[in-house]
Structure 1
Amino acid sequence: MRETAVGPRVLLKRLRELMQEPLEPQDRLDRIVRDIASNMVAEVCSLYVLRADSVLELYATEGLNKNAVHLAQLRLGQGLVGTIAASARPLNLSNAQEHPAFAYLPETGEEIYHAFLGVPVLRAGRTLGVLVVQNRTKRVYREDEVEALETTAMVIAEMVATGDLARLSRPGMELDLSRPVSFTGVSFNEGVGLGHVVLHEPRIVVTNLFNEDSEEEIRRLEESLGSLRLSIDDMLERRDVAFEGEHREVLEAYRMFANDRGWVRRLEEAIRNGLTAEAAVEKVQSDMRARMIHMTDPYLRERMSDFDDLANRLLRQLMGRGPEDVAASLPKDAIIVARSMGAAELLDYPRDKMRGLVLEEGAATSHVVIVARAMGIPVAGQVKGAVSMSENGDAIIVDGDEGAIHLRPQQDLEAAYAEKVRFRARRQELYRELRKKPSVTRDGVQVDLLMNAGLAVDLPQLVESGAAGIGLFRTELQFMVAATFPRAEAQEKLYRDVLEAARGKPVTFRTIDIGGDKVLPYFKNATQEENPALGWRAIRLTLDRPGLLRTQIRALLKAAGGRELKLMLPMVTELGEIAQAREIIEREVRHLSRFAHHLPTSLKVGAMLEVPSLLFQLDELMKAVDFVSVGSNDLFQFVMAVDRGNTQLADRFDPVSIPFLRVLKQIADAGHRNDTPVTLCGELAGKPISAMALIGVGFRSISMSPAAIGPVKAMLTELPLEELEAFFADNLNQPATGMPIRALLQAFADDRGIPL
């Protein structure tokens, strides 16, 4: 075994010397292929590099015709070299010309060679080229020779990645690493951002590739693996993950990989071939990703992200590092690219430097997206492959309107998007001019445009947007971004800051709405729920855990001393829940009165209408509360039996449809009939055309994201409400099988010059 390891180790030592010599890129490549051929007793060694146009170009050779360098080329998938690049797998053939994929390039003069070994040049699972050795005799290369060539290919991958070879490319024939790539995902928040990539969990760059002492490197590997296994065991034994199915599955997968002898053996082999422990992890990780990325089984492909995370943890152990603080060195136009991330992690980045967010996973209702929306950041989600194809510092465009991203965009595309950004900026200027104008229709009817909020970062937008107040303050966001339950003092401070920032404008606080998709990492439901959206959440949870609600109510009452306090109860299903909540609220009022605390001047209690059962007790509901807020996101989900996080159904049913608008009209009519104020909060309020529909069916108060207020107000001031009401009188009771009402509304707006 020691004798077969001499070749690779000698070769790596020679490569290290070559990398340190002050050579021109072509000279360095020529020397590398010559040394590889000599070391492996091969008559030919050739390097093909993948260009941006998916062509593999011969960049260096020892043994083939030198005049073919930079002229000989193969398309991706063409010939043996193209097959290796497309599959990211090595080929070891005793007689290459008998292989069905063999393609003869007469300019190279390779027809006299039979034995063929080719390996992909990989970095982070991406194929950057192909490295080949050939011999005249028919032979199969040994396993240690394959390993040696793969290890050498890793070193060459770093040369390609660092840009050393870019100087050798001709105009229009740039390397694949700089190739423009576009991805289409799902729009999670509108807007356009131009900037540069900041990987949320940046790929650890291994700079020390060659080892001096294999046994010492294996000792370091074993020590780090031991620490890694212990940390995983600790996480599995902690109570907060013991009953959490999905988290536990991920950790079990980590433990399986960390104890996999095959993985450890491959790491040790790479070290014995001359790599450091860090470089061995990088090489094995890249090989594994290249193999798994072509698998069609979605479960196995998902496990790849577990493997990536584990390998990065091991690299950090080896390099003695914690997660990098990328926020400290953020560029001024950062686009954060992540597989997934928590809301608190997004808030670690300075808002003034962020231009957009790209997620490989997530949903429009996930916590991080809600926070990004509140911060006014364009978000594209479910953009598969974005992380592996990105490098820190790459130019990138995020099109939040279409859910698309453009990596390393060409100049004309970048110019087009820059103009789009300028156009949006000019339009925002027009919206800013509308801030102080009254929020009335063309025929003089007042409609209150309120904003949704949930964090301190939202508060400056109350003034900037010209909102009439905060129609929905999501108190749970403070809980979601904290590591433990926020103390009563912290809650009170936030609520007081909100009321002071509102400067007398109305604020509606929704009591804590956790459960379902809003999971607090420090608060676990011991029972695994099959349908969490329909489960133990919101008012159901807080009535069962009244201590949570009492603490929050007390903080709200103290913060609102001398002001009006509006409290809204989420996910109400029956009127008895309102009565129970009122008892808790009145108990806290009596407690604070007993100790002479400054109480609110008025206290109004409302309910969020998002459960369809309330539709059958509307008049009773209107009499039981001081106001009603319609949660259109959940109400639509429950009325139409649509999981709003399911991308296959995301665009299948339209909330601006006759059935759902009839439901909303019933609610608005019940509010007018009982003289109970009704506000609608949700995505529907934030688009001009759907806001127009809401106003048409009777809503006079709607709440939306701050960025949506300008476009909705521009529509509102041009809206002839009397004509719109006549339109709905004619169309809302028609059969729902005719032309979609959205199309009829669009035509109505176009005919009257209403901006949508």
Structure 2
Amino acid sequence: MMPMGGGLTTRGPRNLLRQIREAMAGGGPAQERLDKVVKTIASSMVAEVCSIYLRRSTGELELFATEGLNPEAVHNTRLRPGEGLVGEVARLNEPISLSDAPSHPSFSYRPETGEDPYHAFLGAPLLRGGRSIGVLVVQNQAARRYDEDEVEDIQTIAMVLAETVASGELLGLDELRDVEVAPHRPERIKGQRFAEGLAIGHAVLHEAPVAPERLLADDPVAEEGRLKLGLTALKANIDSMLEGGQGLAGPSYEVLETYRMFADDRGWNRSLEEAVRGGLTAEAAVDRVRNEHRARFAKARDPYIRERLHDLEDLANRLLRVLAGDQPGQRELPDDTILVARNLGPADLLEYPRDKLRGLLLEEGSAASHAGIVARALQIPCVGRLAGLRDRLSEGDLVIADGESGEAFLRPRPEMLDAVQARMQLRAQRHAEFVALRDTPAITRDGVRVTVLANAGLVVDLDTLDETGAEGIGLFRTEFQFMVSEELPRLQAQTDLYRRVLDAAGGRPVTFRTLDVGGDKVLPYLEVEREENPALGRRAIRLGLDRPGLLRLQLRALLSAAAGRELRVMFPMIATVDEFRAARALMDAECEWAERRGKTLPASLRVGAMIEAPSLLWHLDALLPLTDFVSIGTNDLFQYMYAADRTNPLVSDRYDPLSPPTLRALQDIQRQCAETETPVSVCGELAGRPLEAMVLLALGYTRLSAPAGGVGPVKRMILSLDLAAARRGVAGLLGAPRPRSAMRWRLWPGS
């Protein structure tokens, strides 16, 4: 019988953990070693019963070893998922302590175990990755409730058992063949398509948890010192980021403040310290506390609370890396890497070697997020909004990123692999067909010439320009250089990049969009006020005009890079004619500055505006005469027309880009440009999809700028198109008594 408030015979589980380690290291059959472990735990905790249950692949919990119950029940007693108190511990993923177990409504009587006399019950889950892979139970005849120290002790022991079972130290591979120590069954998760394509590879977790190499501390005092040093270094690192010293491109100020708040949280720090004092290494303590938080928060329905779980996960991973002394970029990656992350900024994604990166799977994000845009630029299949992804796979799992259906397949069956490989071969054949068309002019069947350009923003895009057959770059996003840099890019760095872009274009036209940051694109080295609604705040040209030095530096670099050549520059997010006048005045001032100093100016300079703000739709008569050209950014134009944030997955799919309102807006822009003879192009995502591109042509547009992966499909569509018939179709839709969406048309493969 356990004495009141007894706990371990030696205060703290350190002595018991050492005995468990000795039992594991001993020879003999696995079952004998497991029996020795439960006997050791029962003796040390003065318990009359100690039992270990492990989860089978069927979900059942099987009694694997016991001290005190009927030995014949071992491997014969199985509990269905959620059955009994043991099943309840596994379901809740947290300890249960009862003074009178038989009176609990979840109690399940199994006569073969012989547990009738036992009233006191204490069970703790064996957690791996926030999932319960088994349950550790101690029982006593006396009706009493176990105290907090005893609950703490059994959690520590359960954590060590979970790690040793999963690692194969306690049981061999044969014994574990049917034990679910990690996710292993094939799973399919439905998400959203961010970037098209198919990829098969092995999962690599971004900011992957560092598995503790040692669980038990040889010197607990030294481990406590290591933990304190690690926490101090972690907080200093976060403080540095908050001050802008690290120049991280991606995390917002609010996220870093949340990290700092959690790093200072007394409960988190106290849990870590208690785990170390109980005999764990600093790394094992972090792992244990993380598992407990993960199990607790994962049940929450409130999205805010679940978001805090991700913050704690990231913070724990950072602390583990601090303790391990890891530096970024030192990881060995497989040649077929499928990167798995909660979300990514552009700098994060570009840190990974392009030659090894096959696909990208995200728990969050949107097709218009940084990760989605960069993935499309790199032509990497990307699927996002995959709920619970990271908890449902392990590092190294075989996975499929299906950027066509917007799905992820984890540990796929052989027949699924065969089907996807067949689809990949078909895609390769289609790609070869697109490459064969690269030198073929984009002319419709009825003789209309269309200019097909490519969107770009990364140096790697330039390498694929010849392969796609694009006739130039219709949109070069200059902000990526700013977002991946640790500090504001200097004049020479900007000049070098723009010169390299023009050189790679080889005389083909390149249209540079000036810096488009703000909103969801945060530059941590620029001090900006936090805004309630950043999508409608100081972004793009508004930021450039508020900080003219920043914009003039970029314009100076563009003029220098284009010396003696044509330069095409357009200003983003123009909402008023006065904004364009002010921006054009800065360009004129920079030209005068260069001329006074005898610098070579571009052979020709064309300055345009992006039509992205709906306000311009009613002021084009004043704007167009001031511009050399305009380009329509459909991504932003449509989100503002429909008041639906394109980066918010809850509303991003609420509007139809080919519905009558958008088609009429596009039709009116094209008409006014034609009347004023103002060159116009479309450079949004719309221009890169065959069906949508066909509708644009039917509305009168003949200059399209598409993502690199969309150039080939759009060109093939153009070559097969009877444009006159398409124009009649769109006119019929818009002129009908009840206009319909052109999205109902499905005329070309791949549309």
- Is TM (by shorter chain) over 0.5? yes
Residue 14 of structure 2 is matched in structure 1 by 9
Q: Which residue of 2 aligns with 1:314?
A: 319
Report the 3-state secondary structure (helix = DSSP H, G, I; strand = E; otherwise coil) of the residue aligned with 1:509: strand
Picking from 323, 333, 337, the partner of 1:334 is 337
SS at structure 1 position matched to 2:208: coil
- State the match for 2:366 in structure 1: 363
- Runs (5+) with no aligned partner, structure 2: 1-5
* TM-aligned CA distance change 1:122 to 1:741, over 3 Å: same
In the TM superposition, what whole-angstrom CA distance separates every residue of 1:570-597 from its partner, at most 9, and x where no partner exists? Answer: 1112223333223222232233233333
Per-residue deviation, 1:351? 0.5
The alignment's C-alpha RMSD in Å is 2.7
1:124 corresponds to which residue? 129
Q: CA deviation at 1:454?
A: 0.7
Give the match's secondary structure for 2:106. coil
- SS of aligned partner of 1:499: helix
C-alpha deviation, 1:24, in angstroms: 4.8
Distance of aligned partners of 1:162 and 1:419 in 2 relative to their CA distance in 1, 3 Å threshold: farther
Shift in Å, 1:615: 1.3
2:416 is aligned to 413
Question: What secondary structure is seen at the aligned counterpart in 2 of 1:529?
Answer: coil
Task: Find the partner of 1:576 among 575, 578, 586.
Answer: 578
> Is the Cα contact below 8 Å between 2:8 and 2:150 reproduced in 1?
no
CA distance in 1, matches of 2:260, 2:155: 27
Paired residue for 1:595? Answer: 597
Equivalent runs, 1:169-568 vs 2, <5 Å: 175-233=181-239, 238=243, 247-319=252-324, 321-326=325-330, 328-526=331-529, 528-568=530-570
- Aligned residue identity for 1:627: F
Seen in structure 2, the aligned counterparts of structure 1 residues 369 and 728 have a Cα distance that, compared at 3 Å, is closer
Contact 1:169–1:175 (8 Å) recurs in 2: no
Distance 2:246 2:302 in 1: 27
Letter in 1 for 2:20: L
Deviations 1:400-445 (A, max 9, x none): 2333222222333233222222222222122222222221112121
Structure 2 contact 346–370 (Cα < 8 Å) conserved = yes
Aligned-partner residue type, residue 146 of structure 2: Y
Counterpart pick for 2:56 among 40, 51, 61: 51
Matched position secondary structure for 2:712: helix
Separation (CA, whole Å) in 2 of partners of 1:544 and 1:82? 61
Q: What is the rounded CA distance, in whole Å, between the counterparts of 1:595 and 1:249 in structure 2?
A: 45
- Report SS of the residue matched to 2:661: helix
- Structure-1 residue corresponding to 2:67: 62
Aligned-pair distance for 1:721? 0.7
Q: Does 1:73 align with 2:78?
A: yes
**Which residue in 1 is equivalent to 2:3?**
none
Equivalent residue letter for 2:603: T
Are the equivalent residues in 2 in contact too, given 1:54–1:176 (CA < 8 A)? Answer: no
1:229 Cα deviation after fit: 4.2
TM-score normalised according to structure 1 size: 0.92
Q: How big is the shift at 1:171? A: 7.1
Contact 1:719–1:754, Cα closer than 8 Å, also in 2: no
Which of the two has greater helix per residue? Answer: 1
Deviations 1:85-124 (A, max 9, x none): 1100112223322211122334434344333221100123
Query: Cα offset for 1:509?
Result: 0.8
CA change 1:325–1:73 in 2 (3 A) is farther
Could you say what secondary structure the match of 2:464 adopts? helix
Q: Residues 229 and 519 from structure 1, CA distance in 2 versus in 1: closer, same or farther, beyond 3 angstroms?
A: closer
Matched, 1:34 2:39: yes
Write out aligned runs for 1:657-696 (5 A): 657-696=659-698
Alpha carbons of structure 1 residues 377 and 64: separation in structure 2 relative to 1, 3 Å: same
Secondary structure of the residue aligned to 1:522 is coil
Query: How far is 1:61 from its partner?
Result: 2.8
Q: CA deviation at 1:19?
A: 3.1
**Aligned counterpart for 1:87 among listed residues 92, 99, 110:** 92
Deviation at 1:697, TM superposition (A): 0.8
State the partner residue of 2:741.
740
Task: Specify whether residues 49 and 176 from structure 1 end up closer, same or farther in structure 2 by C-alpha distance, changes over 3 A only.
Answer: farther
Corresponding residue for 1:703? Answer: 705
**Contact 2:437-2:712 at 8 Å conserved across structures:** yes
Once the two structures are superposed, what CA deviation does each residue of 1:637-684 show, in whole Å capped at 9, x if it has no partner? 112222112222222210111111111011112222222211001111
1:20 aligns with 2:25: yes
CA distance in 2, matches of 1:241, 1:625: 40
Post-superposition Cα deviations, 1:673-701, rounded to whole Å, max 9, x if no partner, equal 22221100111111111111111111101
The residue type paired with residue 508 of structure 1 is: T
Equivalent positions of 1:622-661 (< 5 A) are: 622-661=624-663
Question: How far apart, in 2, do the equivalents of 1:387 and 1:679 lie?
Answer: 41
Separation (CA, whole Å) in 2 of partners of 1:433 and 1:410: 35
CA distance in 1, matches of 2:96, 2:414: 38
Distance change (3 Å), C-alpha of 1:253 and 1:482:
closer
Q: What one-letter code is carried by the residue in structure 2 that aligns with 1:671?
A: C
Is 141-150 or 76-85 further displaced after alignment? 141-150
CA distance in 1, matches of 2:727, 2:239: 64
Give the letter for the 2:36 counterpart.
Answer: R
1:22 deviates by 4.8
Instruction: Give, in angstroms, the shift of residue 297 of structure 1.
Output: 2.8
Distance 1:21 1:171 in 2: 22
SS at match of 2:735: coil
Which digits, 9 at most, give the CA deviation of each residue in 1:517-562, with x for residues without a partner? 2221111213x32222222222222122222222212211221122
Query: Residue 693 of structure 2 aligns to a residue in which SS?
Result: helix
Q: Equivalent residue for 1:97?
A: 102
Contact 2:660–2:740 under 8 Å retained in 1: no
Cα pair distance change 1:160/1:688, threshold 3 Å: farther
Change (3 A) 1:442 1:173: farther
TM-score with structure 2 setting the length:
0.93
Partner AA of 2:617 in structure 1: L
Q: Deviations over 1:253-272 (max 9, x none)?
A: 44443344433333333233
Question: Do the aligned residues in 2 keep the contact of 1:232 with 1:251 (CA within 8 Å)?
Answer: yes
**Paired residues of 2:475 and 2:512 also in contact (CA < 8 A):** yes
Q: CA deviation at 1:30?
A: 2.9
Name the CA shift for 1:172/1:118 in 2 (closer, same or farther; >3 Å). closer
What SS does the aligned partner of 2:314 have?
helix
Aligned residues: 744
Do the aligned partners of residues 564 and 290 (structure 1) sit closer, same or farther apart at CA in structure 2, a change above 3 Å counting? Answer: same
Deviations 1:422-471, CA, capped at 9 Å, x for gaps: 22222212222222222111212111111100110110111111111111
Question: Could you say if the C-alpha distance between residues 462 and 231 of structure 1 is closer, same or farther in structure 2, counting changes exceeding 3 Å?
Answer: closer
